[in-house]
Structure formats: structure tokens, C-alpha cells
Chains A and B, each alone.
Chain A
Amino acid sequence: MDGIFLQQMVNGLTLGSVYGLIAIGYTMVYGIIGMINFAHGDVYMISAYLAAIGLAVLSFFGVESFPFLILGTLIFTIVVTGVYGFVIERVAYKPLRNSTRLAPLISAIGISLILQNYAQIAQGPRQQGVPTLLEGAMRFDVGSGFVQITYTKIFILIAAFVGMGVLTYIIKYTKLGRMCRATQQDRKMASILGINTDRVISYVFVIGAAMAALAGVLITMNYGTFDFFAGFVIGIKAFTAAVLGGIGSLPGAMLGGLILGVAESQFSGLINSDYKDVFSFGLLVVILIFRPQGLLGRPLVAKV
């Protein structure tokens, strides 16, 4: 029992840290332009393909040591996915900046469908896979059972937390971060102070896509397989995490991701894995009943 609990805790934190990375994209975009970017899950899906392509190309050129392989893949995936984020915003959302709130939402659903179909046509409908990069695991005996942590999971946890740490630092302490927060808090005033708010919004989309790309590489490492539809479920989960933590709040997205990941893993380990999604979304409903603004969100106050 203890062994299972600890094992699921580790699994949950790994999964949750990746949910958190994707949730960052939802929450930052919502914070800055008040829109749910329904294509974000599919940007993650694209990054999974890019990760596989990056790995294949690097192996083709004879790169075999894990650090170079993973670093090269990460850089390639993050850069190209960032370009996707940038282009999607420019093409699908920016022209609709001053229209009704519903218009960019529908545009996002359109982009989501386009990306899915594009991946399906370009890469085929079958599942794709990558080989395991990091072999081996650590084993600890706990009571009557044991806990096994693969090196891949350890790597994922470290990489995800480093990613979140770097982003938190950027948002809190750099000029770019201040410009993002200013644009989020009062876009008109930000422009009067000399900030090119359109550019800041582009940056936010690129940051969100980059975080999704990091998640894409990490999940691909862990599970090894993905397909053109992979972005849907994980996108919905990450969105749930963002709402759970309080949409618009950066620490909220990370916390929401971790809570959701742990809750889901514990439920499937201790009770029933078939109903884990029911439990996750049920948890969301319960939390929203008691805290409609999410765990770390601020209640919406009308400006006077």
C-alpha cells in the first residue's frame, strides 16, 4: 500500500509537471488577451512530432550521447514550435484583436482542426514512436513493496521544474517579464508607456508554445508513442489544470498541473484507472464550486 502510494506520487508529479508546462500556455494567453487558445493542445502535438524528427535527424548524423541528443532535440523542438506559436497568433488571432470575444475562440478551434489534419496528412494516421533514450531505473524498497523511478522520470521532473523556474524568473525579474505583466494588467496604459503590446502578445504566444514544446519532448521521452490526435486529451487536461489553479495565474497553472497529475495518478493507482478522467474533472467541479476563481486566481472585480 505504501509502496503504491509513493510510486503513484512520483508518477503523478511527473505527469503533473508536464500538465503544468502546457497549462502555462493556456493561462498566459488568457491573462493577456482573455482568450482560451483551443489550438494549444495541438501545438503540443506538433512538438511531439518535431521531437521525433529532431531525434531521428540527430541520430542520422551519428549523435549518440544522451546529453547532446536531448539538448539538440530540445533546442530544435522549442525553436520550431515557437515559430508555430508566433505564426498562429499572427495569422489567426491578431486580425481578430478588436472583434467580438467569440471570434478568436472559433478561429482557435479552426487552427486546432487544421493542425490535426496537417499532422495526419503529413505524418500518417498511425501511431508514431521513438526509442527509449534513457534506460534504467532506481529502486527503493518500501515496507513490503518497492518504488521504482526510471531515469527518464527523474529527467522529466528536473527539466520541467527548471523550465518553470526559468519562466518564473523571466516573468518576475526581467524587463520582458515586466512588459508582459504590464500588458496583462492594463494594455492601453502599457502602450502609452511605450510598450509595443502587439509584440508582447506575440512573445507570450512564443513562450507558451516553447513550454508546450518542452512538454512535448518530455512526454515523448516517457511514453514513446503519439499520434495526430495526441494533443486533444492532454490539452483538455492542461486546460483543466489552468482553470483549477486559477486561469491567468502563472503559479496557479503550475500548481494546478501538479495537483491534477497527482490526483489522477493516485486515483488510478489506489482505486480504479478506468475512471481517472472522471475523477480529475470531478475534482475540478468540486474546486470550482468552492473557489470559482480557482486556487490561486483572483476574483474578477469590475473596474470602476
Chain B
Amino acid sequence: MSKPILELKEIDVYYGPIQALKKVSMHIDEGETVSLIGSNGAGKSTLLMSIFGQPRAASGQIIYQGTDITHKSSHYIASNGIAQSPEGRRVFPDMSVEENLMMGTIPIGDKHAGEDMQRMFEMFPRLKERRNQRAMTMSGGEQQMLAIARALMSRPKLLLLDEPSLGLAPIIVKQIFATLRELAQTGMTIFLVEQNANHALKLSDRAYVMVNGEIRLTGTGKELLTNEEVRNAYLGGH
């Protein structure tokens, strides 16, 4: 078994008095694609953000490549190889596509910027067409591609994706998952948060199911696809 790149040990996270994550433990091994599924409000996005310390875990430990990063600053974590395409995409609205992509290169500097940008344009040709357009004027799908591409620009060791399929047309969802599959095949470690359990489980080596801030179930993607409880709750029961 390969060693974990990221490990969460019993982390508790609060928003004021409300506990959003309860003793969450999980791990992601190098080269794996792991997904986290669960319904709206289960705490999935909070989990991703808490890896960056926003909000910070009140107790428990987050270990990344053997280092405890529980109390490190967000920019420290980013500059050590974790990139995130966050909930709500959060592209910089007043920047062009190219400038947004350049923002992804902060952790590694811009020596590969030109080459990587070309790769992103091959992966997402729509972004190339809109390279000088401001992000706020683009459609949701285009912004989603931009958010993923921006995360990839830092050549991350671990890629965190929050609902890359949210609000997108089925054909674009398919395209994005095909891209993720390609990325996974290049050996990139991917941690995917999804409501679209069907797509996510098919893509993943392993998955966790989150309910009300707790990990309820875990298993391989295939196991969970056939699991009765998962099928009823997240796959529409068919």
C-alpha cells in the first residue's frame, strides 16, 4: 500500500456555535482518486476549505506529506503543492482568463507559465477563445473550466475539486469528468467532492460518504456504486 499524501485525523470544525465536521478521519494515498459524496450541507465544502485552514480545525490533525499542517497559513499550504478549485468557482471576476490562469502559478513561479497555459488551452479550448475576456462575463461552465485550469497551473501534487459538475449542462459535465480521468491517469492525486455521485464514484478508486458532518461509509468506488444505502440516497434508487 502506498503512503498517504494527506491524512485527516479526527478533525472537528465549527462555524461559531455550530459544529460542521465531527471527528472526521480520512486519508488519500499518492496517485489515488478519492471522492467525497454527500447531500447539500453535509459539510463537504467545509472539509475542503478546512484543509486550507479556513475555517481552522478546532481539534484533530491534518497531515500532509508527513507534516502537520493543521495550524499553517493558507498560503503556506498552497505553496507546498495543494491546489483547490473551490465551491462557487471563485474566479477573479475582474481579471481576464489569462490573468486568472497566471494567478495559479504563484506557488511555483512563472517559469512554466507559457507552456502550462498552452496545455490548459488544449484541455479547455473554450478558454483559449476567451483568453482576453473578463471572467465575470463568462458562463458558469466556462468559469468552472477556468477554476479547474487555474488550480492545475500550480502543477499540484494534490488537486482538490469542489463540485466541478455543479450547475453545468450534462455534456459539459461529461467533458469535465473525461478531463479528470485523463489527469488521474497521469498520476495526479485527486480529491473530488461531488453531489453527482454516479460520475464521481465511477471515476474514483475510493470514496467516502458524508452525512451531517460525519463520515458514514467508505469503500472503493465500485463497492459504493452497488451499496444499497448509497443507491437509495445518492443515486436516485435505480
Contacts and interface: CB of A to CB of B under 8 A. Distances in A.
Interface of A: 175, 178-179, 181-182, 185-186, 188-197
Given A185-B93, A189-B90, A197-B75, 15 more contacts: A175-B102, A179-B106, A181-B94, A181-B99, A185-B92, A191-B52, A192-B52, A192-B84, A193-B106, A194-B75, A194-B78, A194-B106, A194-B154, A195-B106, A196-B75
Contacts of B83: 193
Contacts of A175: 102, 110
Contact of B95 (A178, A196, A197): A178
A201 B93 CA distance: 20
A194 B109 CA distance: 11
A179 B102 CA distance: 10
Contact of A194 (B79, B90, B95): B79
B141 interface: no
Given A179-B106, A197-B75, A192 B86 contact: yes
B94 A192 contact: no
A208 B81 CA distance: 33
A193 B73 contact: no
12 contacts: A175-B102, A186-B92, A188-B74, A189-B92, A191-B73, A191-B75, A192-B74, A192-B86, A193-B106, A194-B106, A194-B107, A195-B75
Given A194-B106, A195-B106, A185 B95 contact: yes
Contacts of A179: 106
B110 to A, nearest CB: 7
A181 B73 contact: no
Contacts of A188: 54, 74, 90
A188 B110 CA distance: 22
Contacts of A190: 103
A186 B110 CA distance: 21
A193 B104 contact: yes
Nearest to B48: A192
A188 B84 CA distance: 12
A193 B54 contact: no
Interface string B2-41: 0000000000000000000000000000000000000000
Nearest 8 interchain pairs by C-beta: A194-B78, A191-B74, A194-B107, A194-B106, A189-B90, A194-B79, A185-B92, A196-B75
A181 B95 contact: yes
B56 interface: no
Nearest to B160: A192
Interface residues of B, number: 24
B44 interface: no
B150 interface: yes
Nearest to B90: A189
Contacts of B110: 175
A189 B78 contact: no
Most chain-A Cβ atoms within 10 A of its Cβ — which of B52, B73, B74? B74
B103 A193 contact: yes
A190 B92 CA distance: 9
Contacts of A195: 75, 103, 106
A193 B154 contact: yes
Interface string B89-101: 0101111000100
Nearest to B150: A193
A178 B54 contact: no
A194 B154 CA distance: 10
A61 B50 CA distance: 58
A178 B103 contact: yes
Given A175-B110, A178-B102, A192 B92 contact: no
A280 to B, nearest CB: 30
Contacts of B154: 193-194
Contacts of B93: 185
B160 to A, nearest CB: 9
Contact of B86 (A181, A189, A194): A189
A197 B76 CA distance: 11
Nearest to B108: A194
A149 B95 CA distance: 41
B102 A186 contact: no
A188 B88 CA distance: 13
A182 B99 CA distance: 10
A42 B99 CA distance: 36
Interface in B31-86: 52, 54, 73-75, 78-79, 83-84, 86
A248 to B, nearest CB: 11
Contacts of B90: 186, 188-189
A222 to B, nearest CB: 36
Contacts of A178: 95, 99, 102-103
A271 B74 CA distance: 57
A304 to B, nearest CB: 9
B103 A182 contact: yes
Most chain-B Cβ atoms within 10 A of its Cβ — which of A188, A194, A195? A194
Nearest to A298: B94
